[in-house]
Chains A and B, each alone.
Chain A
Amino acid sequence: MKIKLTVNGLLYERECAEHRTLLRFLREDLGLTGTKEGCGMGECGACTVILNGHAVNSCMVLAAEIDGATIRTIEGEANGPSLSDIQLAFEKNNAVQCGFCTPGMVMSVKELLAENAKPSADEVKEAIEGNFCRCTGYTQIVEAVMDLTGRPEEKGELDHV
């Protein structure tokens, strides 16, 4: 069937199998491979995108059911050539290691900040509990968000004994 989607402000029209997930549609049909797959079961959040304003697991959404929708993915996050505030905060706070969870993580943070400009650390943790990260241990991700929203005092340091 024919699917029309606005992704990161651009309109895409594609012929697409009815059982295709949004994740595969983005990655394989539109070539937007920034969004990752970690499980295909809704558990890990690597596939998180923003669908009509809300963060969802794109591995559990059919492309067919969101004809006409507006999607934001990691590819639309930077402001032209420069990084967005969220990206800059992640960069500054060493919130990325292998980077595989990062696109989904950034999307979850984006929805959180759209709804809650000054989240507490607990609210940040709750917003990203559906995004597994095996590398960072999450602390520097939480610190990045706190830093961005004006509570850099939450940042920890490596102490020298």
Chain B
Amino acid sequence: MFDDIKTGDLTWVGHETGRADLIEKLTGEATFVSDMELPGMLHTQLKKSPYARARIKGIDVSKAESMPGVRAIVTGDELDYHIGLYIVDKYILAKGEVRHYGEAVAAVAAETLEQARAAAEAIVVDYEPLPPVLHHMEALKPDAPLVHPDLGSYSYVEAVFSPKAGTNIANHMKVRKGDVEKAFAESEYIVEREYSCPSVQHVPMETHVAIAQWGKGDRVTIWTSAQSPFTVRNLFCHAFKLPHSNVRVQVPYVGGGFGGKAGIGIEPLCAVLSRKAGGKPVKFQASREEEFSLLPCRSALTYRIKTGVSAEGKIMAQHMSMYWDAGAYADYAVNVTRASGYSAAGPYEIPNAWVDAYTIYTNKPYGTAYRGFGHVEFHWAVERHMELVANAIGIDPVEFRLKNALKPGSRTLTGEEILPSTGNVVKCIEEAARRIRYGSITPEEEARQKKTGWKIGKGIAALHKAPAIPSFTATAVVLKMNEDGSVLVNLALTDYGQGTYTSVRQIIAERLGFPIDKIKVAFESDTDRDPYDWQTVASKGLVLSGNAAILAADDLLEKAYAVAAEALHANPRDLANDGDKVYIKHHPDKSVRFAAMAVGLALPNGNGIGGPLIGVGRYIAQGLTNLNKETGEGRPALDWTYGAHGIVAEVNEETGEYRVLKIASIFDVGRAINPDLVRGQAIGGMMQGLGTAVCEGYIYDENGRLLNPSFTDNKIPTAKDLPLEVECAVVETPQIDGPYGARGVAEQSMISVAPALGNAIQKATGAQLTHMPMRSEDVWRTLQNKEPIDNWITKSPVGSCRSAPEARRRDE
């Protein structure tokens, strides 16, 4: 909508404006759930499993129950609620069997944290340890233990997912396009490699925290640090079979989410404790260690790609096998698999494609949505693969990318045609290359190499991502005019830092023609007071809520103009407004103020007309379809955001140490509604992508115990880890159905940072890295052709550089 208006002709959209939420955050006044304390509130501590897989033979709470301050103890036995987003496979507390290290088996609510901890420590659990299945590739073997022997009896979203009863496969997603076998036979080159990455943590700075109060009459109120209040409510009501009107979910300020708080988490646990404690509010906040092992992480991935290329360097065929490690529960991982499956080739045209994407249960903490929704992980594979294929066939990797990039007229894996308005990945790649002076070493860089002895290399990686959402995803925005003519905005999309509220505010100001400080977006989302929003995920927030905001503004104006028309005896068509009053265009001196109409206009004789001015805008994703379960055909993408990163890195060949000298990140955002915020998303995601690339990852021992569940051994990047130079730019190919032409960019910024770095390291040294993260030791081992270190699961290798360079010419 309004994609064709030039930014220069717009007042608020496309320009920097102050953020709506900063004063509270800068002064410490913003209240997060972790800051909340309700009268009579109880505190929770958990008893957690030290085993990856064990039968629970008995839980003795007798001592704990009689300890001071203890108000409620619950164990899995007494709870019979199944929870699940897409596959209903999880209990609130482990029941019968624990399925991963750190899983909760019992919970205590007590007057103080100390009392709760003492009681939790006094609970005795009798376990019979069982052999766990830890590696997702092992879990595929016919004799592997089953993580969910009852998978066949679970309910799930049947239109979209395909679990395989009697196996560890929670979902199998397929794409079949063209004739792969024939195209391979006709290919000049065939290159096949395998890539992998471990599980990682989102690391929101505020860990998961919730307070629940189960009142008399089964009325439940929940305050939670979550991304999606309506999803929490919906899944909660399903699990407990409560009417939706009984449950209220409130989300105040949220200290980061990144997908880890996208669905439902600890809320049901707090609720059952509160119910058992007679309705007192119960709070649980995960410790940082629990954030790593109790709460979900990002799935590990093994990705095997076989590519057939013509003599001219055009990709003819690609065979793609993705193995996603769901961990103990399917949660979002099944949908990560689906979204990754239909985007599996990256922003390239693959005329003949075959994708098998599996979600696999293992006895590890479970995987969920994480910024990029699978695309960070599989782009690592795809964009390293593009580099290695180009090397194998002797063509420049960027040239190879440009040759095969999706362009208008190309068709995606699911058969969707790319249009000129879809976006321009070619321009993103070219701009990234230009900004790092790809393909050359400048005199300064030459001098630097001489001085340091470290080798400089440059790499490019491209990316694409569409929102992974149900085909009928919807949202709404409500505008309420205040007595002074200012406007309050209600929406249930949450803003936990991305700045969506600021951009929505700009859109509303633009559309209404109001000064921006007359628009306030209410912080705190509340299912009792806000209109529905599905979830704050998938980089769809601005697109869907922005459109709803435009429609809400139109609706509000229409209603105001109707009142004004009556008051001014004019036709509404002839009216305009200046932000303060509505006037007749050809008699500008005839006007009525918004303030006068806001809650109903009093005519000179005292009669009232109108009533409180409220504008409603609803928007639902347009034209999306389910995918054919056998071929993947269909329309899954609301929009495609393209991008590319260029990285200049210097590497010490002797030690494997490296530094990022420069990164240039380019995205086709359609329109940057607020350039400062786009830059914030671009750099924030880039740094998170670097963390994934450089150091982050879960390390388990052979028994499935997580060895690094804290910041001591699970580092994230600090300010000192910033590349020396950081540049961001946007291409603006307007999205016709995006608000003012915009598309999302929150996740895209994190995608393909790792392969850009891997490509740069390879350019500098020749190291063919295929596993991320790339610790200096990994780089060193790769350069030395040493066996990879396999400490992601100690003694069960998923190390780097495992796959052999299997490039061959057809006739060899």
Physical interaction between A and B: yes
When the two chains form their complex, are residues A37 and B34 in contact, meaning their CB atoms are under 8 A apart? yes
Smallest Cβ distance from B28 to chain A, in angstroms? 2
Q: Does B603 contact A (CB under 8 A)?
A: no
Partner of A43 from B684, B685, B710 at Cβ < 8 Å? B710
When the two chains form their complex, are residues A160 and B205 in contact, meaning their CB atoms are under 8 A apart? no
What mask results when residues 462 to 502 of chain B are scored 1 for a CB within 8 Å of chain A, else 0? 00000000000000000000000000000000001111000
When the two chains form their complex, are residues B205 and A98 in contact, meaning their CB atoms are under 8 A apart? yes
For A90, what are the chain B residues with a Cβ–Cβ distance below 8 Å?
22, 26
Q: Does A74 contact B (CB under 8 A)?
A: yes
Partner of A161 from B32, B205, B288, B730 at Cβ < 8 Å? B730
Smallest Cβ distance from A99 to chain B, in angstroms? 3
* Given A129-B718, A129-B720, A161-B729: A91 touches B22 (CB 8 Å cut-off): yes
When the two chains form their complex, are residues A158 and B678 in contact, meaning their CB atoms are under 8 A apart? yes
For B23, what are the chain A residues with a Cβ–Cβ distance below 8 Å?
83, 91
For A132, what are the chain B residues with a Cβ–Cβ distance below 8 Å?
203, 205, 711, 716, 718
When the two chains form their complex, are residues B729 and A160 in contact, meaning their CB atoms are under 8 A apart? yes
What mask results when residues 131 to 145 of chain A are scored 1 for a CB within 8 Å of chain B, else 0? 111111111111000
Closest residue on chain A to residue B687 by CB atoms: A137
For B726, what are the chain A residues with a Cβ–Cβ distance below 8 Å?
137, 139, 156
For B32, what are the chain A residues with a Cβ–Cβ distance below 8 Å?
36, 100
For B31, what are the chain A residues with a Cβ–Cβ distance below 8 Å?
33
When the two chains form their complex, are residues A38 and B427 in contact, meaning their CB atoms are under 8 A apart? no
Smallest Cβ distance from B32 to chain A, in angstroms? 7
From A37, A136, A139, residue with most partner B Cβ within 10 Å: A139
Question: CB within 8 Å of B: which of A7-43?
Answer: 27-28, 32-41, 43
For B27, what are the chain A residues with a Cβ–Cβ distance below 8 Å?
34, 74-75, 77-78, 83, 87
Partner of A158 from B206, B207, B672, B720 at Cβ < 8 Å? B672
Q: Does A62 contact B (CB under 8 A)?
A: no
Smallest Cβ distance from A21 to chain B, in angstroms? 12
Smallest Cβ distance from B252 to chain A, in angstroms? 11
Q: Does B554 contact A (CB under 8 A)?
A: no
Closest residue on chain A to residue B666 by CB atoms: A161
Question: CB within 8 Å of B: which of A97-145?
Answer: 97-103, 106, 124-126, 128-142
Q: Does B778 contact A (CB under 8 A)?
A: no
Q: Does A73 contact B (CB under 8 A)?
A: yes
Partner of B680 from A101, A130, A136 at Cβ < 8 Å? A136
Q: Please report the C-alpha to C-alpha distance between residue A97 and residue B22 in the assembled complex, in whole angstroms.
A: 8
Q: Does B452 contact A (CB under 8 A)?
A: no
Partner of B675 from A27, A74, A158 at Cβ < 8 Å? A158
When the two chains form their complex, are residues A96 and B679 in contact, meaning their CB atoms are under 8 A apart? no
Q: How many residues of A contact B (CB 8 A)?
A: 58
Closest residue on chain B to residue A136 by CB atoms: B684
What mask results when residues 23 to 44 of chain B are scored 1 for a CB within 8 Å of chain A, else 0? 1111111111011010000000
What mask results when residues 34 to 69 of chain A are scored 1 for a CB within 8 Å of chain B, else 0? 111111110110100000000000000000000000
* Given A94-B676, A125-B719, A161-B427: A135 touches B256 (CB 8 Å cut-off): yes
What mask results when residues 671 to 691 of chain B are scored 1 for a CB within 8 Å of chain A, else 0? 010011111101111111000
Chain A at the B interface: mostly helix, strand, loop or mixed?
A: loop
For B258, what are the chain A residues with a Cβ–Cβ distance below 8 Å?
134
Smallest Cβ distance from A121 to chain B, in angstroms? 9
For A77, what are the chain B residues with a Cβ–Cβ distance below 8 Å?
26-28
When the two chains form their complex, are residues B19 and A158 in contact, meaning their CB atoms are under 8 A apart? no
For B722, what are the chain A residues with a Cβ–Cβ distance below 8 Å?
125, 137-139, 142
* Given A36-B206, A140-B679, A156-B728: A135 touches B22 (CB 8 Å cut-off): no
Q: Please report the C-alpha to C-alpha distance between residue A132 and residue B711 in the assembled complex, in whole angstroms.
A: 10
When the two chains form their complex, are residues A159 and B729 in contact, meaning their CB atoms are under 8 A apart? yes
When the two chains form their complex, are residues B35 and A142 in contact, meaning their CB atoms are under 8 A apart? no
Smallest Cβ distance from A28 to chain B, in angstroms? 8
When the two chains form their complex, are residues B205 and A96 in contact, meaning their CB atoms are under 8 A apart? no
Q: Does B119 contact A (CB under 8 A)?
A: no
When the two chains form their complex, are residues B711 and A156 in contact, meaning their CB atoms are under 8 A apart? no
Q: Please report the C-alpha to C-alpha distance between residue A129 and residue B717 in the assembled complex, in whole angstroms.
A: 9
For B732, what are the chain A residues with a Cβ–Cβ distance below 8 Å?
160-161
For A44, what are the chain B residues with a Cβ–Cβ distance below 8 Å?
205, 288, 711
When the two chains form their complex, are residues B497 and A98 in contact, meaning their CB atoms are under 8 A apart? yes
When the two chains form their complex, are residues B711 and A98 in contact, meaning their CB atoms are under 8 A apart? no
Closest residue on chain A to residue B291 by CB atoms: A39
* Given A87-B27, A96-B25, A159-B727: A142 touches B719 (CB 8 Å cut-off): yes
* Given A36-B206, A100-B256, A137-B684: A125 touches B720 (CB 8 Å cut-off): yes
Q: Does B195 contact A (CB under 8 A)?
A: no
Closest residue on chain B to residue A159 by CB atoms: B729
For B21, what are the chain A residues with a Cβ–Cβ distance below 8 Å?
99
Smallest Cβ distance from A29 to chain B, in angstroms? 11
For A75, what are the chain B residues with a Cβ–Cβ distance below 8 Å?
27-28
When the two chains form their complex, are residues B729 and A134 in contact, meaning their CB atoms are under 8 A apart? no
Closest residue on chain A to residue B434 by CB atoms: A161
From B22, B716, B730, residue with most partner A Cβ within 10 Å: B22
Smallest Cβ distance from B685 to chain A, in angstroms? 7
For B254, what are the chain A residues with a Cβ–Cβ distance below 8 Å?
98
Question: CB within 8 Å of A: which of B680-734?
Answer: 680, 682-688, 710-712, 716, 718-720, 722, 726-732
When the two chains form their complex, are residues B205 and A46 in contact, meaning their CB atoms are under 8 A apart? yes
Closest residue on chain A to residue B253 by CB atoms: A99
Q: Does B331 contact A (CB under 8 A)?
A: no
When the two chains form their complex, are residues A40 and B22 in contact, meaning their CB atoms are under 8 A apart? no
From A28, A41, A136, A137, residue with most partner B Cβ within 10 Å: A137
Smallest Cβ distance from A129 to chain B, in angstroms? 4
When the two chains form their complex, are residues A138 and B680 in contact, meaning their CB atoms are under 8 A apart? no
For B731, what are the chain A residues with a Cβ–Cβ distance below 8 Å?
161
Smallest Cβ distance from B225 to chain A, in angstroms? 10
Closest residue on chain A to residue B255 by CB atoms: A100
Partner of A99 from B30, B672, B677, B720 at Cβ < 8 Å? B30
For A160, what are the chain B residues with a Cβ–Cβ distance below 8 Å?
672, 675, 729-730, 732
When the two chains form their complex, are residues A134 and B205 in contact, meaning their CB atoms are under 8 A apart? yes
Q: Please report the C-alpha to C-alpha distance between residue A87 and residue B26 in the assembled complex, in whole angstroms.
A: 6
Q: Please report the C-alpha to C-alpha distance between residue A35 and residue B427 in the assembled complex, in whole angstroms.
A: 45
Partner of B682 from A100, A141, A158 at Cβ < 8 Å? A158
Closest residue on chain A to residue B732 by CB atoms: A160
* Given A43-B712, A99-B255: A137 touches B206 (CB 8 Å cut-off): no
Closest residue on chain A to residue B23 by CB atoms: A83
Question: CB within 8 Å of A: which of B2-61?
Answer: 18-19, 21-32, 34-35, 37
When the two chains form their complex, are residues B18 and A91 in contact, meaning their CB atoms are under 8 A apart? yes
Smallest Cβ distance from A71 to chain B, in angstroms? 13
For B684, what are the chain A residues with a Cβ–Cβ distance below 8 Å?
97, 134-137
For A157, what are the chain B residues with a Cβ–Cβ distance below 8 Å?
675, 679
When the two chains form their complex, are residues A98 and B719 in contact, meaning their CB atoms are under 8 A apart? no
Question: CB within 8 Å of A: which of B205-239?
Answer: 205-207
When the two chains form their complex, are residues A100 and B719 in contact, meaning their CB atoms are under 8 A apart? no
When the two chains form their complex, are residues B679 and A97 in contact, meaning their CB atoms are under 8 A apart? no
Q: Please report the C-alpha to C-alpha distance between residue A98 and residue B257 in the assembled complex, in whole angstroms.
A: 9
When the two chains form their complex, are residues B720 and A137 in contact, meaning their CB atoms are under 8 A apart? no
Q: Please report the C-alpha to C-alpha distance between residue A136 and residue B711 in the assembled complex, in whole angstroms.
A: 19
When the two chains form their complex, are residues B719 and A34 in contact, meaning their CB atoms are under 8 A apart? no
Q: Does B287 contact A (CB under 8 A)?
A: yes
When the two chains form their complex, are residues B683 and A34 in contact, meaning their CB atoms are under 8 A apart? no
For B675, what are the chain A residues with a Cβ–Cβ distance below 8 Å?
157-158, 160
A-B contact pairs, 24 of them (CB 8 A): A34-B29, A40-B288, A77-B26, A90-B22, A94-B19, A94-B680, A97-B498, A98-B205, A99-B26, A102-B26, A125-B722, A126-B719, A129-B718, A132-B205, A134-B203, A135-B684, A138-B719, A156-B727, A157-B675, A158-B676, A158-B678, A160-B729, A160-B730, A160-B732
Contacts A39-B288, A96-B19 known; list 5 others, CB within 8 Å: A101-B205, A134-B716, A137-B688, A138-B687, A159-B729
> Sorted from nearest, which 10 A-B pairs have the closest CB atoms?
A34-B28, A99-B25, A97-B497, A100-B255, A98-B497, A137-B687, A43-B711, A137-B683, A74-B28, A33-B35
Which B residues lie at the A interface, using CB under 8 A?
Answer: 18-19, 21-32, 34-35, 37, 202-207, 253-256, 258, 287-288, 427, 431, 496-499, 666, 672, 675-680, 682-688, 710-712, 716, 718-720, 722, 726-732
